[in-house]
Structures are given as C-alpha cells and as structure tokens.
C-alpha cells in the first residue's frame, strides 16, 4: 500500500512518501533503545514538564493540524479541531496524574511479615520501546492516548501509523521533538504493514499496542505471542444503542444521530445497532430518521458540514456492499441507502437507516464503518439484551432508561467493555477504555492504561534489612 496523502473528498493524491529503508529502520531502533536507557531514569516532574509543553504546542498548532487531518482522512474540520483539543487535555491529565497512578504499592503488613520480609513494595517500572500500530480514523487521538501514558511511565514510542495519514504521523514526531523530548523518545516509522513483523520481533522492542481491524490484531498478537511480548489490542466494535420505555425518547433520538455519524460514522465506539423497545419504537424511529435526513453531507473543510467522505474508496465500497446485501435480503432503507447524487467526486455515502434486519444479512454480524445505522424492534428487555449481545464484538454500549432495575440488569448482562447510560459513548483520559470478545483485550487510558506497559516489580527486603526499614 502506498504511503500517501489522498484527499478523500476529491480522490486527489496530494503527497507521497518513500518508506524507510532497512538501514533507516535499524538506525531508529537503535536510537529508541538508547533513548529508553536515558528516559527511564528521568523524574516524573521532568516528563510532566515536557508533556505540558507538547500540549501547549498542539494547541498553538490546532488550526493547521486540523486541516491536515481533514485533508488526509476526511473528518469535518470542526471535529478535527475538537480532536486536537482532546489530545492536549489527555496530555495534561497524564502529566498531572502519572506519578500518583504509578506510586509504589505497599502490601498489607500481615502479608509482608508472613512472607518472611522486613518490608516489601511493588514498584511500576517501564518496559522499554513500545511499538504502536495505529489507525487513520482518529489520527491524533489514537496515538496520544497511547503515547502520553507510555512516555510518562518512562517508556519510549515507535509509531507505525496508517499509510493514508503520513503527514499527521510526521507531525506527531515533530511535536514531541519540539516539546523537548530527547531524540528517540518518540519516532514515526513510515513503513508499510509488511514491515511490522520484523520490527516487533526485534529484541529491542518490548511490547506492542494496536488499534485496528481483526486481521491486523491477529497478526500482531500472533507475532508478539511467538516472541512472548505484551500486547494491548483495541479492535472493531458494533455497539448497541438500547432505548427502553422509561427513556427520554426525544433526547435519545437526538443523541443517536451524533452517536452514529460522529467521525463520518468511522469510529469503533460509534453506536451502530439501534435496539428499541416496541412501546417507543415508532416515536424513536420517526425522530431518528428525521435527524439523519437533516444532516449536511459535503466538503469536510466547510464549517457547516456534518458528514464528510469515507476515508478511502475501498472503505466506501465495503460499506456499500453491506447495505446492498441487506437490501437484497429484505431490509428497508428508511433513509439513504446509496451514494449522494450531489457528490460527484470523493468517497461519500448518504446517512442511512436500515430496518427489518434479519440474521442472514451480513450487516447483522459485521461492523459498519460509515454513516449507516441498523434499527431493531425488541419486545422486552430480555430480547433487547439478547440482540445487544448477538455480536462477535464487545467494545462499548449505550442504554437509555430511567428505571433502576433495568440499569442494574444491563450492568450485569451486557457483554461490553463500557456501558453508557442516557448518553453516547466517549473516551476520557480518566476512564479505562477497551473491549471484550473480538473487540480485543487490555485497556487504554486511566491508571489501567498507564500500567499496561509497566513491569509490576515485587521488591522484597529480608529481615536483615529491618534496621533500614
């Protein structure tokens, strides 16, 4: 796959880049190894100062980097600016909280003495260079939510970004350099996916994190497992959005539109399957479809655009195939269901709501990565939960109810890494993020995320150390 910026709104190739040579990859691996030896000995205060500086620079650069993201992968520019702001927030959050999150842990005194120790402590130590294989859909956020905690923990980062966002990838390397991080603390590897295995197998690379497709996750996990290296995987999602009779249906329908089409519908945590109790189905359907019809599809650099193009021709074609398969097997398009006629160039697809979904349709089991929603009618809470869990994925979920018993039942029975009540799923630096089933394993963000790439080291002091205790 070529490493190039191709404007998805026009199909025009704007810039191309040569992948790194084997010699240059080796140089960067050696640089990362040397950088880790020094960076791991820096203090939390030093790292926090650098990360705060990176956040300052990112805020200064917001207009330019937002335009770059929009040009490379098509998100509305107003959403790109919001993404940059979110990244700066996360950098500051980890700069301010990392030391506490990684503070030494002191086992209970009884456990210490029972082990024969005078004292004991658990200390979190960094692992080393971590390879991050990242996707294009949130080209800043996906990287920063890995890099900020990794750098604060004392690790160093090697970024293999998606091949259609090379300028954003290079910007990130430059950002951390300008912030004052030493050479090698954060490096972008402009390479194709065929180079990932060799980099991951290199003994200087300690671990890997990947956000992407199931096939990519399997490949990285398989290689890392063969090398006995730690991985964190965040893969696909087909998140349910459950609306029950006690909900504020008008508000649920309003938020549902944003939950489905955020980032042009290209988000693992976007709500995709809308499961509505029969008692409120008609009211929700009418409001939801009306909201989807009102969206403005167009140039993502236009401030009034709600939905831009999909990131690639292949992505648009894959989405179109899922919709066409469903329609051929009896689904009903309540709106959309085709490319917008007014968009002659680029990889656009109309906001779409499909009803009458059945199990034999591909769209019932496969993730829709674009502005297409599937709508289900559930007779009761039992059927709603069965439909919600009838997916190979388990990333996040949304439930609208004001009934306490229903809330507790959903917390108990929904198979997902997150459950958001009366609102849409969103990631936040202070909350752990990740999934179950084929959505992957491990967690990003919060204390869980920063500790994923640390060595929880037991330090045991024998009785002769008692005098020093």
Q: Residue 455's closest CA among 153, 96, 184? A: 153
Question: Directed axis angle between helix 44-60 and helix 77-101, to 10°?
Answer: 170
Sign of the alpha-carbon dihedral angle for 129, 130, 136, 142: negative
**Cα separation, 132 vs 188, whole angstroms:** 10
Residues 6+ apart with CB under 8 A from 47: 39, 95, 98, 151, 152, 154
Does 268 participate in catalysis according to the annotation? yes
**Cα separation, 243 vs 373, whole angstroms:** 14
**Cα separation, 402 vs 297, whole angstroms:** 34
Catalytic residue among 87, 185, 268, 454: 268
Cβ distance 357 to 374 under 8 Å?
Answer: yes
DSSP class of residue 92 equals H
Cβ distance 311 to 362 under 8 Å?
Answer: no
61 torsion bin: left (phi>0), alpha (psi -120 to 50), beta (else): alpha
Q: How far, in whole angstroms, is CA 122 from its chain's centroid?
A: 30
Q: How far is CA 339 from CA 73, 277, 295, 332, 351, in A?
A: 18, 30, 14, 16, 9
Task: With H, G, I as helix, E, B as strand and everything else as coil, classify residue 280.
Answer: coil
**Cα separation, 67 vs 9, whole angstroms:** 13
Q: How far is CA 441 from CA 149, 235, 348, 350, in A?
A: 18, 9, 32, 33
Instruction: Copy the structure tokens of residue 37.
Output: 């030896």
Q: Residue 42's closest CA among 87, 99, 96? A: 99
Catalytic residue among 72, 83, 234, 367: 234
**Cα separation, 133 vs 149, whole angstroms:** 16
H or E, element range at 458: strand 454-461
**Cα separation, 195 vs 183, whole angstroms:** 22
Q: Is 16 exposed, middle or buried (0-12, 13-18, 19+ CB in 10 A)?
A: exposed
| Catalytic residue annotation | 234, 268
């Amino acid at each position: 796959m070529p490493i190039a910026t191709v404007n998805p709104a026009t199909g025009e190739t704007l810039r191309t880049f040569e992948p790194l040579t084997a010699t240059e990859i080796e140089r960067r691996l050696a640089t990362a190894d040397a950088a880790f030896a020094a960076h791991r000995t820096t203090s939390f205060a030093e790292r926090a100062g650098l990360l705060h500086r990176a956040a300052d620079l990112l805020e200064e650069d917001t207009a330019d980097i937002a335009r770059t993201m929009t040009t490379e992968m098509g998100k509305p520019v107003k959403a790109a600016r919001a993404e940059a702001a979110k990244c700066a927030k996360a950098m500051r959050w980890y700069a301010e909280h990392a030391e506490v999150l990684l503070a030494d842990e002191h086992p209970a005194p009884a456990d210490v003495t029972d082990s024969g120790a005078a004292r004991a402590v658990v200390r979190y130590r960094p692992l080393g260079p971590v390879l991050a294989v990242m996707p294009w859909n949130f080209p800043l956020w996906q990287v920063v939510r890995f890099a900020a905690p990794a750098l604060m923990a004392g690790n160093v980062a090697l970024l293999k970004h998606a091949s259609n966002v090379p300028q954003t990838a290079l910007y990130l390397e430059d950002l951390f350099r300008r912030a004052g991080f030493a050479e090698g603390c954060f490096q972008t590897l402009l390479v194709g996916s065929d180079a990932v295995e060799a980099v991951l197998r290199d003994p200087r690379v300690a671990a890997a994190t990947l956000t992407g497709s199931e096939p990519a996750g399997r490949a990285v996990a398989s290689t890392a497992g063969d090398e006995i290296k730690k991985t964190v995987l965040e893969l696909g999602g087909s998140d349910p959005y459950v609306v029950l009779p006690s909900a504020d249906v008008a508000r649920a329908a309003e938020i549902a539109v944003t939950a489905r089409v955020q980032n042009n519908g290209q988000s693992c945590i976007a709500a995709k399957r809308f499961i509505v109790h029969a008692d409120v189905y008609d009211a929700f359907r009418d409001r939801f479809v009306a909201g989807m019809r009102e969206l403005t599809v167009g140039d993502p650099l236009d401030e009034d655009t709600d939905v831009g193009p999909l990131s690639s021709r292949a992505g648009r074609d894959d989405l179109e195939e899922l919709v066409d398969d469903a329609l051929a097997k009896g689904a009903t398009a309540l709106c959309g269901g085709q490319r917008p006629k007014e968009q002659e160039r680029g990889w656009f697809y109309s906001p779409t709501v499909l009803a009458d979904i059945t199990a034999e349709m591909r769209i019932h089991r496969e993730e829709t990565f674009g502005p297409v929603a599937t709508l289900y009618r559930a007779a009761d809470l039992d059927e709603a939960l069965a439909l919600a869990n009838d997916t190979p994925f388990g990333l996040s979920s949304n439930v609208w109810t004001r009934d306490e018993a229903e809330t507790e039942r959903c917390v108990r029975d929904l198979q997902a890494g997150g459950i958001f009540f009366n609102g849409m799923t969103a990631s936040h630096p202070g909350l752990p993020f990740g999934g179950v089933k084929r959505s992957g394993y491990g967690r990003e963000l919060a204390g869980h995320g920063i500790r994923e790439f640390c060595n929880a080291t037991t330090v045991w002091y024998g009785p002769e150390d008692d005098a020093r205790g």
